[in-house]
A and B are shown apart, each in its own frame.
Chain A
Amino acid sequence: MKCHETESIMHAYLDDDIDGYPYQEFLEHIKTCHKCKKHFEELKITERLLKQLPMVSTPPDFVQKLMQQLPQKESKTRIKR
C-alpha cells in the first residue's frame, strides 16, 4: 500500500464504514510506516477532542424571552414547567 492511499481509509475508520476498504492492508502498512501511523494517531486524537467539546449552558431566561416574542394573543397562555 502506498502512503497516499491511506488517508481515505483512516477517515472511513472514523466514520465506522471500512467495508470495501483494504483495512487489514492498511494496518500492515502502519506497522512499518511511521508517518502514516502518526497521521492516524493524530486523527484519532482530533476526533476524541471533537467528541469531548463540552455543552455550553443556554441562557436561563431563554424560554421566557422567546414566549414573550410570540404573537400577543396566544402568548397570554401561562407556561408551566
Chain B
Amino acid sequence: MSDDEAGNSSPVRARSESPAGTAEQQREKAGRKRPRVADPDEDDDMGDDTANGSGAGNGKGRADDEDGEGDDDEEEEDDEEDDEEDDEEGGDGGKRKAKKRKRRPKKFRFLDVEAEVDDEDDEDEEADDFADVAEFIEEAPEEASGRDDVAHRRLDRSRGEAQMESVEETVARLKQRYGRGQAAKYDPDSDQVPQRLLMPGNGDPNLFQVRVKAGEEQNLITKIFRKVFSNQNSANPFEIYSAFYRNSLPGMLFVEARGAAPVLAVLTGLVGVFLSTPPKLVPIEEMAPLLKIKKKDENIQPGMWVRMKRGKYAGDLAQVIDVDQITNGVAGLKFIPRIDLTPREKRSRDKGSNGKALGGNVRPPSRLFAYEDVRKIYGRGAIRQTATSTYVWDGDEYVDGFCLKDLKLNLISAEGVKPTLEEVSRFTGDEGETSRIDLSAIADANRDIGASGLFPGDKVEVYEGEQSGLYGPVVTVTIDVIAIKAMNGDVRGQIIEVPSRSVRKRFELGEHVKVLNGPNRDASGMVVDVKGDVVTLMSDQGEQEIKAFSKDVRKAADIAGGSQAKGAFDLHDMVMLDSATAAVVIKVEGAMLRIMDQNGAVRVVTPHEVTARRDNKNFAVAQDSNGNDMKVGDAMKEVGGENRSGEVLNIFRSIFVFLFSREILDNFGVFVARAQLLISVTPKAAANDLSKLNPMLQSQLPYGGASLMAPPTTMPNKNRLINTPVVIVKGTQKGLMGIIKDVQGEKARVEMASNNKVLTIDLTSLKRKDTRTGTTYPLDSAAAGSFGAPRPGGGNYDINPYGQMAPPNGGATPAPNYGGRTPGGAARFGQTPNPYAAGAGGFGGGKTPNPYAAGAGGRTPAPGWGAGGGKTPGWAGAGGKTPAPGAGGYGGGGGKTPAPNYGGDGGRTPAWAGAGGGGGKTPNPYALGSGSGAGGRTPAPGGSMYQDPGTSRYGNGGLSAPTPYTAPPTQAAVAAQTPATTQYSAPTPYGAPTPYAAPTPYSAPTPGVGLTAPTPGAGAGPSHNGAPTPYGAPTPYNAPSTSNQPAAPQASDLPWDWALDFRNVRVEVGPSTKAGTRNPLHFQRGALDRQIFGYADIAEGESPHCILLSDPTVTADIPAEYLRPVQPTAPGQAIIVINGPDGIKGQQRTTEYLNEDQWMMVPDQSVGEVVPMIVGGGDLCRIWQS
C-alpha cells in the first residue's frame, strides 16, 4: 500500500493541504474524501458523531445519497490521492499545491478535477502522460486573445475531452501501480470488505501508544494538533500522520508516525505526557481493533428492566412496556414517579427569594402516584382522570400509581441493570409485601444467570425451551452454552447442551446453602422453599428467613464451621464498645454489626466502632445464684424475671452474662442477664470437681467440708489503680490531677479533675496523689494508699512463693524483734522454704495455742483474721468459703469455737495454716507426736506436712484431717505455757469491733495472753512471719499498720481539722496539715511550734482558743490546721479517741498498756466493757483538764 493511503485514513493529516485546527475542522474539510476515517470517539459520543455526519458526511450516508456519482467520487478521490502521492514524492509538493489552488480561478471550477490532475502530473515525473492536457490547461488561462486562439482552444478542448478516456486509463494504471484501486472500490454499504481491504500493512506508518495522564487525553490531542499545524509550514514539520485517543482507553494516546522519533518530538514539552515510558509500538494486527467502533446493540424488549440515566429519576428502575416507537428512538417506560408533594406556594416563595427553588437538589422520594395526595397539593384541576385509576397530571400519564412515559433511548440504560428484589417487589406489589412478588417478573429481571454464575457441578434445571424440565449437574460452561448431564427425561445420563439463559440453579429442600450476592450476602442457611428463581432459606445465624435469587445462592458445605470468619467479627463475638461496655454481636449484617451491649441495648455499629475483646471464653467464669461457677457454654436459666434459659455465650466481668437461646425471637435469641440471677439448668459441675469424687476429701466433710473449698482463685488486682487519685508528672498535662478510671496495659485512662475529660496517659507519667495531704507517691503498689512509703524487709521471706502477695508490711515489721521473743517462731518460719510452713505455720502458731485467740477468733469478725488469712496463701480464699477447715485443723480451737464463727474468720484465716501451724505450735502432745514443744517445734510437723511436694493442696486436708487435733488441748492454760508465741504473734485484729468478746481474755494468767489481744502484733504477727501481711487486705485492719509507721500515715489519716471536733484536749503546734492551705506553713513562723496547748473553746472561724500548758497566760487562736494531737506517753493518761470508726471515736479512756504504738485502754466498767479497747497512738489525744 502506498503511503498516501495511510495518511488518508488518518484523522489528522499533518501535511495535507487543509490545515485544520482540530480534528473536527479537519474532518469537515477533508472528510468528504475520506469515508474510511474512523472517528476515535465515535462509539462513545454518538451525538458528536451525528453532528459530524451532517457536516462532514460519513461514508455511508454520503454513499447512499450520491450513489449515482460513485464513479466520479472515486475519481476525485483518486486524483486527490495522486496529488498527495506526488506531494510525497516531490517533497515540497504540499506547499506548491496549496499555492496553486489558491490561484485557481473560480470559473474553471468545473474542470478543476481534471485540470488539477493534469497540472500536477504535468509537473511530476509522469508529466509526459498528461502532456497534452497540461499544455491545454496552461495555455487556457493565459492565451485569451484572438478568435484563432479561441478556435484552437475549442479544438484542443474537444481533443482533450476525447482524451478523457486515456486520462482515466492513466488513472487506472496509477491506481494499479500504487495499489489504491481497492480503496476506490470501497463500498460503504458493506462492512466486511473495506475492513479487510483497509487493514494496515507493513508499509504503513506505525501506531505508537503513549501513556498520558488520565483525563488529559483530549487536551493533549488538541495541543498536539496545534503543535503540528503550527509547525507544518516550518522547516521541519512534525512527521506524524495522526493522533487520537479512545475514551475507552483512559491514559493513552495513539500517534501515527513512521518512527518513534517524530512521536517523541511532538510530545516533548507537553505536560501530562509520561515520556518516562517510551512510546510503545502497536502491533499491526492491533491497529484496526483500536479504531473499531463497537456497535451498541440495544435490544430493548417489552418487560425488560432498564435504568434511567439522567434527571430526577437517575438510577431509578423502569420497566419497558412499549417498543412500538423504538425506531424513533423512544421506548415506553413504566416507573415509580417521584412527585414533589411540597406545596407549590412554598416552592414559588423560595424561588422568589433566591431565584432558585430551595429544594432544587432534593429529589422527591419515589412513591406511587396517589390521586388524593396529589390533588390536595396541586388541586383537582391539575389532574385529569381518563379511566379507572388512570390519571394525567402534568402531562404524564399515571396508571395504577406508576408513571407511564415515553423516553428517548439515550436516556435509559439497559446494560447492567440488576434490579434487586426490593426494587422489583415495589413494582409488583405494595412495599414490604413480598408475597405478591411477581416471580416471573423477577425471574425475567434476573434471568441472565450468565456463565459467570455457574460452575461445573452446580445443579441446574432448564426452565424454558425444548429441554424444559430437564435438570442435572453442569459439566462444562462456556459463555452462552452450558453442558449439563441430564438426570431425567429421555436423555437421562446424556450430556446435553443448553443455552445458559434458560437454566437456573436448582436447590433441594433442606440443602445447606450460602448467599453469594445481594443484601444478604454471606448469609448461610438451609433451604426451606424454592419458588421459581427465589430460594427461601432459614438463616443459620438468626432465626429468620432470607429470600434470594437462586443465581445468587450456592450450595455450602454440609458441615459448616458455623462460624466462618467474616471479617473481624463473627456472630456472638464479644466486642467492646468502650472500656467498660461490652457487647455481643447478635447479627452480622453485611458490613454492619448488630450488637447487644451489657445493658441489653441493641444497636447497629460498624466494625471499626468496636474493638475486639481478647477471647476469654475459656477463662471467663461467674458465679450463679447458688455460688456455682458458670462457664461459657453452660446452659443457664434465669431465676426470676422471664425465666429465660439459654446457653452462655460470654461473660463480662463475671457480672454480665450473655446468653443465647433459639427459642427467643427477640434480638436473635441473645439476651443479657446478671450472673447472680442465673442458675444452672444442668448441674454438671460434679463431673470435674475433684473434691467431690475424691474420697479423701469427702471423708473430710464431717469436719466442715473445708476440703470442698475451691482452690483460691488468685485475684491479681489489675484494677487496683482504678479510682486512684493521681497527678500527672510528665508531658503536656503535667501538674493536672485526675482519677484513674481504667488501666490498659501500660496506660491509664485518667479522668481529669479540671475539665472532666478522660485522657490516656502512660502509667509512668502518673503519681498517686493523696488528696488530703497533697503528697505524691509512686503509683506502684508498694506505696499503696495510706501505708505510706515502702518499708524495708521481707527479704528472707522472699522464697515464700506467697510472699509476693504480702505487701511490704510483712517485711516491714522487724522480724528479729518478734522472732527473738518467739522461740523458734519467726526466725524459723522465716527461713523455711515451705510456703505453707511459713505462712500458715507462723500464723497458726500464733493463734492456735492461744485460747484467747481462739475465742477471739470465734467472735472476731472476719477482718480481724482477715489480716492473717488474707495473706495466708491460698487458704484465705478457701477459708472464706468454708469455716470448718479451721475447726478440723485447729482441733482445740475448733472444738471450743463454734465452727460457724470460726468460719467467719476462716474467711480469711488460713485454714490449713491453722491446722498445720496450730498443731505445730501448740504444745499439744497429740500434735503428730511432735510432743510438747512450744512454737519452736511447730514448724516441723507443719513443714513436713506441707513440704510434701507431691501432695496437692487438697491432699493436705486429708492428711490433716486424721491428725488428732480434735482434742481440745488448746486452752488458756496451755497457751499460757507459750507466752512468747502467743504474745507476739496473735493476730488479733486491732480494728475488729469486738475482738475481746472472748471470755475473759484479758484475765488470762499470763500477761502474754492479755497482751496478745491488744497487741497490734496481730498485724505484726503475720508480718513477722513473713507471711502475707494483713495490710493488703481491704480491711479496717489497715489501721494497725500505721502503728509501724507512727507519724506519716497518722497524719494522713487524721483530718486536718480534727481539732474542731473536740474540746478540752491537748494539742501541739506544728506545721500545717491542711493540704493546699493558703496559710503559711508554720503558725506565727514557728514561734509556737512544738509547744503544747490546751483549748476549751473555739474562737472565730477555725481557730481553737489555745492556752499554753506551761504558761497559761499565753493564749493564741491557732487555726486548727496547725494543731496536732498530743499522744499519750504513759499508761494512766486520760485520752480521747479522735479518729476511728464511729463508736470508737470520741470515746474517753485511760491508757493502760502500750505495745508498738497501740494503746490498750482500761475497760470502761461503767458501760460494762470487758474487752479493752485498743487504739493506735496516733488516733488518741490526751485530755487537757480531766
Q: Do A and B come from one complex?
A: no
